[in-house]
Chains A and B, each alone.
Chain A
Amino acid sequence: MPGSNDAVFVCAVLAGDTSAYGVLYDRYARLIRAICNDTAGNLFEAEDLCQEVFLRGFQGISRLRDPERFGGWLLGIAHLTCREWHKKVRRERRRRRSVELDQIAPPLQSNAREFAEPLLFAIGRLPRRERMALHLFYLQEHPVETARNVMGLSRSGFYRILDRARRRLQRLANARSEKSK
Chain B
Amino acid sequence: MQQENGLRRAYECFSRRHAALRNELLTKIRDGSFDARGPIRLTRRWPWAAALAASLLISLVCSAVFWFRTPVAYAVADIPKRLAGCDSVLVDGWEDIRGVRYPIHLYVQRGRYLWETSVAGVNDRVFSGYYVSDSEHYLDVSDQDHTATYGQQNPLAFELAVQGVLQLGLPEKLVGPNGSNFIKTGESSLDGCRINIYEQRSGGHQRVIWLNPATGVPARVQLFEPGEDSREKQTAQWTIATNVSPPPDLPSFTLPTGYAVIRHDRERNEAFNIESVGGNGDTFQVLCDLNLEGQAILLCWQRFDTNRRAVPTTQGDASIESSSMLDFRLANGRRKYFAISLRDDPWTDGHIAHWTLLVPENGSRVDRAMISFKQARGSMSMNLLPLRFDRTRLAQLVLEVQQVTMPAGHTALNLQELENMAQRFTER
Q: A residues touching B (Cβ–Cβ < 8 Å)? A: 18-19, 21-22, 25-26, 29-31, 33-34, 37, 43-44, 47, 50-52, 54-60, 63, 73, 76-77, 80-81, 92, 95-96, 99, 101, 104-106, 108, 110, 115, 117, 119-120, 123, 134-135, 138-139, 166, 169-170, 173
Contact = CB atoms under 8 A, between A and B. Distances in A.
A169 B3 contact: yes
By CB atoms of chain A within 10 A, which of B6, B7, B341 has the most? B7
B13 to A, nearest CB: 5
Nearest to B26: A22
Contacts of A104: 340, 421, 424
Query: Which 7 A-B residue pairs are closest in the complex by CB-CB distance?
Result: A60-B39, A106-B324, A138-B11, A119-B10, A30-B14, A59-B39, A117-B10
Given A22-B26, A80-B42, 19 more contacts: A21-B29, A29-B22, A33-B14, A43-B13, A43-B14, A60-B39, A60-B40, A77-B39, A101-B425, A105-B340, A105-B341, A106-B323, A106-B341, A117-B13, A119-B7, A120-B10, A138-B8, A138-B11, A173-B3
13 contacts: A25-B26, A43-B16, A57-B39, A73-B42, A77-B42, A92-B428, A108-B336, A115-B13, A117-B9, A117-B13, A119-B10, A138-B8, A139-B14
B238 interface: no
Contacts of B425: 101
B265 interface: no
A147 to B, nearest CB: 16
Which applies to chain A's interface (DSSP): helix, strand, loop or mixed? Answer: helix
Interface of B: 3, 6-11, 13-18, 21-22, 24-26, 28-30, 34, 36-40, 42, 322-324, 333-334, 336, 338-341, 361, 374, 421, 424-425, 428
Contacts of A43: 13-14, 16
A177 to B, nearest CB: 12
Given A30-B18, A105-B340, A108-B338, A55 B25 contact: yes
Contacts, number: 108
Contacts of B28: 55
A106 B25 CA distance: 28
B413 to A, nearest CB: 12
Contacts of B18: 26, 29-30
Contacts of A123: 10
Contacts of A30: 11, 14-15, 18
A18 B39 contact: no
A105 B361 CA distance: 13
By CB atoms of chain A within 10 A, which of B3, B36, B42, B336 has the most? B42
By CB atoms of chain A within 10 A, which of B9, B25, B26, B421 has the most? B25
Contact of A101 (B34, B324, B424): B424
